[in-house]
């Protein structure tokens, strides 16, 4: 594989991560507002200002929101979780491809 192609694919992976970040900043705040308004026990668990707190992000990634029988919460948290996974996957894949591209050039 040509180094230029690998670096292009790395940039594409980073672009996918940026697209995931766009979705994340739309859905995650909506999910947090829903939690704040309707689920005080989860708010207490995650803490105030939970947008980028590691505990809140782990709660989202692990899918703990599914234990709450609220379809509206699942409807907001699931796209947040998917977008967070897209961000992490895009960054990881872009990093790996960038390292491969540097090794090939």
Distance CA 18, CA 9 (A): 14
The pLDDT confidence band at residue 105, using thresholds 50, 70 and 90, is confident
pTM: 0.92
The torsion angles phi and psi of 47, rounded to 5 degrees, stand at: 90, 165
Q: Which residues contact 69 (CB under 8 A, 6 or more apart)?
A: none
Return the pLDDT at 44: 96
Q: Which residues contact 105 (CB under 8 A, 6 or more apart)?
A: 3
Return the pLDDT at 81: 98
Return the pLDDT at 7: 92
């Amino acid at each position: 594989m040509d180094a230029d192609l690998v670096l292009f694919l790395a940039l594409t992976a980073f672009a996918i991560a940026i697209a995931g970040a766009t979705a994340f900043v739309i859905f995650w705040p909506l999910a947090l507002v829903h939690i704040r308004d309707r689920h005080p026990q989860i708010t207490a668990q995650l803490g105030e200002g939970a947008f980028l707190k590691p505990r809140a992000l782990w709660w989202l990634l692990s899918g703990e929101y599914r234990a709450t029988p609220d379809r509206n919460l699942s409807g907001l948290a699931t796209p947040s979780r998917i977008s967070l996974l897209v961000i992490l996957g895009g960054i990881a894949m872009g990093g790996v491809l960038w390292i491969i591209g540097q090794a090939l050039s």
